[in-house]
Structure 1
Amino acid sequence: MTKRIKMIVPVPLSEEARQAMARQLPPTLLRSDIAVEFVGAGRVLSLADSYYDMAIMELAVIEAGIRAEEEGFNAVCINTVSDSGLAALRSRLNIPVVAPGQAAFHLACTLGQRFSVLTMWPQWFPLYRKTLREYGLEARLASIRAIDVRPDTEALLQGKEEMVFGRLLEQGRQAIEEDGADVLILGSTTMHQSHAYLAEHLPVPVLNPGQIAYKLCETLFDLGLSHSKHAYPAPETLKDRAFAQDGEGV
């Protein structure tokens, strides 16, 4: 029986952008017994450039994930390294809920002693520091390095490869040589197009967080595991209407 994963991107997407995001999972990575559906969330475009935007993304992901079990999905995979809505959806749902930041950070700790995050712009630094603090992994962080290029949720890195890939490579080398990183993590699932280039040109593992989160879903399916409801207890009363537009319920 085919298992279904709801892959939630925390912003509304055009069909073209949705397809671009979905290409982070090439056919060679996918299994015939697992179907992945990428969906956009929310009603406004957010760049996660502030705590205000981070709260908007949190609400968007929760709203998009609430009905996942009713819709027949077997897992929710949040497609943002901010891990927006992770704890709330684990509380609300019984099916596995996975996020790329948590998955990639913990995998990095199994592959090396210290890791660095390579990202697009410094405005994203607070979201990494927030999750790393929550996961207790601050001591394993070597650095966060940005190339100071404004992200584009629609085009991703298309048309910017020559400029962006070179800058990311330079920052990756500095993270290794100057900061002591022995694993590197892409700071956004929107950066997935740079992964193959960086993995080829850098001497340490380079982690593509969206792919890692998907593979973690596969592992949980195969082992029959999900998150602990002792760690993420269900609410006494469901209040899903709080996350719907105009309070209309979902």
Structure 2
Amino acid sequence: MGGSEASRIRKRLRFLLVNAFSLSERAAYRPRPRSGPKEEQLYNYAEVAPVLEDVDWELHPGAPATHGDWPVELREEFAITGVNRLPIVREACASGRYDAVVLLGGGDPGFWEAREIGHRHGVPVTACAHAQMHIAGMLGARFSVIDISEVHNMRMADLVRLYGMTERCASIRNLDHPLPRPAAAGRNTLLGEQEKAARGEASSMLEAAVAESVAAIEEDGAEVLILGCSAAYWLQGPLQRRLAALGWDVPVLEGYRCAIEMAKTLVNLRLDVSGLAFPHDPPKRFRRRKRV
């Protein structure tokens, strides 16, 4: 084996992970710290750490939120957030520092457009819902999305259609535990539910996830389960264990690990996206007709 080939094999991958947005220090609820060690700014780092062991990674905190000083749930907020982080993707891809960019956040804001940017530089871009759905398709015929709230459910439904997964998606199940935000005032949010479960206390969110997952399996025909919101990714471990205790041999996926592993696969295959799906401007060749 030649020296250059051996060097290529030994090379550690370089990834940039990009949070969907960052809230101000004044925000009434911030789902993660804005500063400090990158490990503290990454949701559920202890669970994600094993898939990052062979990666040199950096974490971007996300563009400052302009939709409001609260977490994202509405389509309008996803659209604003997606536009805000495209300059981050553009700068990262143009820098030549990264082998891949991983977009964090369950609703994949800006992902489709970020892939177009990535292709201009030959840099794969992955995202959480997209990666989960495709990996779910490798594991079973149909999947269900276990998600947090009515309005967030509609974002996930949009992504199912955008990603061509309507035949694969058995259902989207609503836990009715929205993110803490002005519209959720007085409602039972997901705030504190992870901590309750970690202490061994009863978590209404986990109990709802178990009930809706069983219904997805028994009533909807789901063979794989995915989690819709990154603030619900903590459910993966406890939900997997609870379902196994009930006798259900069903995979439960979460987005961070799926998106990171998909990025590794694309880098190792030396692929990003099809230039026909995401053409350069201008393209070297063009098709007179496209079919949809």
**Which one of the candidate residues 176, 191, 212 is aligned to 1:148?**
176
1:58 aligns with 2:82: yes
**Pair 1:180 & 2:205 matched:** no
Residue number among 115, 136, 147 corresponding to 2:164 in the alignment:
136
1:38 paired residue number: 59
Q: TM-score, normalised by structure 1?
A: 0.84
Distance 1:27 1:159, change over 3 A: closer
- Whether 2:143 is the aligned partner of 1:102: answer no
Kept in 2: contact 1:81–1:189 (CA 8 A): yes
Unaligned runs of 5+ in 1: 237-250
Q: Equivalent residue for 2:102? A: 77
Question: Percent of aligned positions with the same letter in both sequences?
Answer: 26
- SS of the equivalent of 1:26 reads helix
Instruction: Kindly provide the CA deviation profile for residues 19-41 of structure 1, in whole angstroms up to 9, marking residues without a partner as x.
Output: 24261653322233x12222222
Residue type of the alignment partner of 1:89: A
How far does residue 59 in structure 1 lie from its aligned partner after superposition?
1.0
Give the SS at the match of 1:124: helix
1:14 paired to 2:34: yes
| Alpha-carbon displacement from aligned partner over 1:98-154 (angstroms, at most 9, x marks no partner) | 111111112112211211100111110121111111122112211111111122599
Shift of 1:65: 1.0
Q: What is the match of residue 246 of structure 1? A: none
Out of 139, 144, 150, the position equivalent to 1:116 is 144
Q: Give distance in 2, aligned partners of 1:231 and 1:23.
A: 34
Asked if 1:218 corresponds to 2:264, the answer is yes
Q: Contact 1:75 / 1:97 at 8 angstroms: preserved in 2? A: yes
SS for the counterpart of 1:21 is coil
Alpha-carbon deviation of 1:68?
A: 0.7
Structure 1 segment 197-208 matched on structure 2, within 5 A? 197-202=238-243, 203=248, 204-208=250-254
- Residues 110, 40 of structure 1: CA spacing in aligned structure 2 closer, same or farther, 3 A cutoff? same
Structure 1 distance, partners of 2:49, 2:62, is 24
Aligned partners of 1:170 and 1:228: how far apart in 2?
Answer: 40
CA contact (8 A) 1:82 1:127 kept: yes
Question: Which stretch shifts more, 155-164 or 125-134?
Answer: 155-164
Question: Residue 63 of structure 1: CA displacement?
Answer: 2.2
1:28 to 14, 27, 50: 50
Q: How big is each residue's C-alpha offset from its partner over 1:129-185, in whole Å with a ceiling of 9 and x where there is no partner?
A: 111111221122111111111225997854343222122111111111122111110
Q: Deviations over 1:186-214 (max 9, x none)?
A: 11222221111111122211111211110
Equivalent residues of 1:7, 1:77 under 8 A apart: yes
Q: 1-side partners of 2:232 and 2:16: how far apart? A: 20
Larger radius of gyration: 2
How many Å apart are 1:47 and its aligned residue? 3.2
User: How far did 1:2 drift?
Assistant: 2.8
Work out whether 1:159 is the aligned partner of 2:179.
no
Query: Which 5+ residue runs of structure 2 have no aligned equivalent?
Result: 1-10, 23-32, 182-189, 198-202, 283-292
